[in-house]
Structure 1
Amino acid sequence: MSNFSKTFSSTLGKKLIMCLTGLFLCSFLLIHLIGNFQLFKDDAGLAFNEYAYFMTNFPPIKVVSYLLYLSILVHTIWAIMLTQKNKAARPISYAKKGGNGSIWSSRNMGILGTMIFVFIAVHMSNFWYNYHWGTTPYIEYRTDLNTGVTQVKELTEAEFTGHLSYVDNGVQIIKAKDLYKAVAFSFQQLWIVALYVAAMAALAFHLLHGFQSAFQTLGWNHSKYKPLINFLGVWVFSVLVPIGFAAMPLYFFFK
């Protein structure tokens, strides 16, 4: 076995892979959240559907997407391997366990991660899979460039020949898959909304420990940077990001 293989098969190597994939997933969460804010626009889903098309068809984004899927799998598999190794090394639980939030989250990273993984599977099935190969509906937007007024028309599968965007006699015409409508329909179902909110709560606790732990693994825990890392880990990734994602299903459910 080469030194490279030995390094990444060791406990330290696994932790390094966990922290790198975890930080990559954190960066994706921020970008995905900003893009999904298009759901709150009162434009019949025009901005969100254009965003969805861009994210699934722009070549550099597609490459990053494949890296994202790989990171999710690697992060999950390595987490299971580390958990099993830790259990094998310490078969008897500690007699006394701490009670504060951060210690609880660090003790239950496996449970939290499992909840998040189940959520990702449901999320990908409902939206990503259906958008590419499923029953996502179709829509046409006609915007008068002089008045700014947009007319919306649902399209049949026969009328939809692919994503189009062009101008004809002062009218901008956009034909797209209506992922916005699919999202709105899904978020009117109580069990899906409950799953999303519960998953975001799990994500909050997962990131509360995971974000700061990643920088400790990298050795970036100097007192000069620790306050900033703690601030980002708590208020940005453990509070604002989960609240932002949870707000979307709640918005459509109560709209």
Structure 2
Amino acid sequence: MSNFLTASIGRKFIMSISGLFLMMFICVHLGINLLLIFDDSGNLFNQGAHFMATNPLIKVMEPLLGLGFIIHIIWSFLLSYQNYKARPVGYAQSNASYSSTWASRNMLILGALVLVFLVLHIMNFFWKIKVSGDPLLEHVLVNGEHMENTYALVSDLFINSAVYGIIYILGGILLGLHLGHGFWSSFQTLGLANKVWLARLQFVGKIFAVMVALGFSIIPLYFLIKF
């Protein structure tokens, strides 16, 4: 087992599994976040955020999610370093663009930029909600139930900080570029993409990447334009 994890195929397997796990979380997270633009009262988003914060299953998944991020990040650096060491000296890269996409050749850079965006996201939202608190999170009553006004915290930052809105949009685009390659390559590593299915998965991956990028970008655009 230890030999498998240290081998190139083992590291790619870990990257694929952790990547698919994180992609499922991204879909759920995006779905909740899109509630921001469907109800200006904030009740709909507050209910979604409250459910995510109080659901026992989600509470169990949170540490697993954090572990998934850590594993994915560490293994990406290990795999990139392994590939760098295995690369022949003087390796000609002039025709690289013909055999691979820009995103596939720069997955580590894209991942690092997404990580910067993730840290900012944690500082502005997750940390305040889970640890430090914020005056904007004062409890509100929604359908007879008391819950934190998470909508006020999120919407206030988007409305009053165009800079953060632009950063959020860039983060969504970078995440989309990262997922465009990561989606189909994860299935390929797991042996689930033969010659016929590879092209189909690449197509689905592009659609998925565009939907994620647009989904995360439309939220700050909505607040910047409407408010």
TM-score norm. by structure 1 comes to 0.81
Q: What is the distance in 1 between the residues matched to 2:165 and 2:29?
A: 18
Residues 122 and 60 (structure 1), Cα distance of their counterparts in 2 relative to 1, 3 Å cut: same
After TM superposition, list the pairs within 5 Å mapping 1:1-255 onto structure 2: 4-90=1-87, 91-99=89-97, 103-133=101-131, 134-135=133-134, 136-141=136-141, 172-188=143-159, 189-236=161-208, 238-255=209-226
Aligned pair count reads: 222
Q: Which amino acid is the alignment partner of residue 60 of structure 1?
A: L
Equivalence for 1:159: none
Indicate the residue corresponding to 1:166 in structure 2: none
Deviation at 1:102, TM superposition (A): 5.4
CA separation of 1:222 and 1:106: change in aligned 2, threshold 3 A: same
Aligned CA-pair RMSD = 1.9
Q: CA deviation at 1:230?
A: 2.3
Look up the SS of the partner of 1:225 in the other structure: helix
Q: Partner letter of residue 210 of structure 2?
A: V
Distance 1:39 1:100, change over 3 A: farther
| Percentage of identical aligned residues | 35
Residues 1:92 and 1:126: Cα distance change in structure 2 (over 3 Å): farther
Larger RCO, structure (CA 8 Å, separation 6 or more):
2
Query: Cα deviation per residue 1:68-124 (whole Å; 9 max; x = unaligned)?
Result: 111111101100111111112225453404446952111111110001111111111
**Alpha-carbon distance in structure 1 between the residues aligned to 2:120 and 2:220:** 14
Residue segments in structure 2 that go unaligned for 5+ positions in a row? none
Larger strand share, 1 or 2: 1
**2:170 aligned partner, one-letter code:** A
In structure 1, distance between residues paired with 2:9 and 2:15: 10
Give, in whole Å, the separation in 2 of the partners of 1:100 and 1:127: 41
> Which structure has the larger Rg over C-alpha atoms?
1
Tell me how far apart the structure 1 counterparts of residues 60 and 98 of structure 2 sit (CA, whole Å). Answer: 40
Secondary structure at 1:141 match in 2: strand
Partner amino acid for 2:220? Answer: P
Distance 1:9 1:228, change over 3 A: same
Query: Which amino acid counterpart does residue 10 of structure 2 have in structure 1?
Result: G
Give, in whole Å, the separation in 2 of the partners of 1:101 and 1:132.
Answer: 45
TM-aligned CA distance change 1:93 to 1:249, over 3 Å: farther
Q: Distance in 1 between matches of 2:99 and 2:116?
A: 23
Quickly say closer, same or farther: Cα 1:37–1:183, change in 2 above 3 A.
same
Scaled by the length of structure 2, the TM-score of the pair is: 0.90
